[in-house]
Chain A
Amino acid sequence: DQQVKQNSPSLSVQEGRISILNCDYTNSMFDYFLWYKKYPAEGPTFLISISSIKDKNEDGRFTVFLNKSAKHLSLHIVPSQPGDSAVYFCAASVGGGATNKLIFGTGTLLAVQP
């Protein structure tokens, strides 16, 4: 049972435009969500997170939106840069703290074209 779903395996955008990566979840107990970026031959790198008590969190070019009623979150990257090309994973957890297991989606490969 896939509790966290990323239905788009890949996304291609032009440099300077907005990239929107989507994630859906089924477990209503999830209360913390994270986005990780992964380059080949490297481990996932933390990008941005959001608690279920918020509906938006911004960090520079990255913004995450959470729609609890739809059980949907999205990551917006504006403007997109070629260095953003990577696999992006959405992850969710139940309960606060850094010790809860993360449930990951299958990832979306983002390609930013110069």
Chain B
Amino acid sequence: DAGVTQSPTHLIKTRGQQVTLRCSPKSGHDTVSWYQQALGQGPQFIFQYYEEEERQRGNFPDRFSGHQFPNYSSELNVNALLLGDSALYLCASSNRVLAKNIQYFGAGTRLSVL
């Protein structure tokens, strides 16, 4: 059973560029959440998608946007990249019905903005 998969694993961009990160949820999961983990910090919630709609959003600017596809996979887009966007971006999936408050994480995409 494949877990949460994210691509790419590493990415280098320059300031002002745009980036798209991808996530495939664990089999049977319908909800995808995105987190940003800066160096030395814990993951911070960006937003969550369910039924192809953004359901919750953390304290991130509109430069951060996302999408969920009918197969439950998801993309995170960041426009007008800033140096401060350099971080590990984690995708987590869960099942709305199974509950248990457990979100399963992928290995993340390491984004470096130069």
Contact: B94 with A99, CB < 8 Å?
yes
Number of interface residues of B (CB under 8 A): 31
User: Is B44's beta carbon under 8 Å from chain A?
Assistant: yes
- Whole-angstrom distance between the Cβ of A38 and the nearest chain B Cβ: 9
User: Is A45's beta carbon under 8 Å from chain B?
Assistant: yes
User: Is B66's beta carbon under 8 Å from chain A?
Assistant: no
B41 to chain A: which residues have CB within 8 Å?
106-107
Contact: B45 with A103, CB < 8 Å?
yes
Which residues of A5-42 have CB atoms within 8 Å of chain B's CB atoms?
6, 32, 34, 36, 41-42
Number of interface residues of A (CB under 8 A): 27
A44 to chain B: which residues have CB within 8 Å?
43, 90, 105
Contact: A98 with B102, CB < 8 Å?
yes
Give the nearest-CB partner of A39 in chain B. B107
Roughly how many angstroms separate A95 CA and B33 CA in the complex, as a whole number? 16
Given A43-B107, A98-B101, answer yes or no on A104-B31 (Cβ-Cβ < 8 Å).
no
Give the nearest-CB partner of B3 in chain A. A43
Given A43-B90, A43-B108, A49-B102, answer yes or no on A101-B45 (Cβ-Cβ < 8 Å).
yes
Contact: B33 with A101, CB < 8 Å?
yes
- Whole-angstrom distance between the Cβ of B48 and the nearest chain A Cβ: 6
Binding site for B on A (CB under 8 A): 4, 6, 32, 34, 36, 41-46, 49, 89, 91, 93, 96-107
Binding site for A on B (CB under 8 A): 4, 31, 33, 35, 40-45, 48, 50, 55-56, 58, 90, 92, 94-96, 98-108
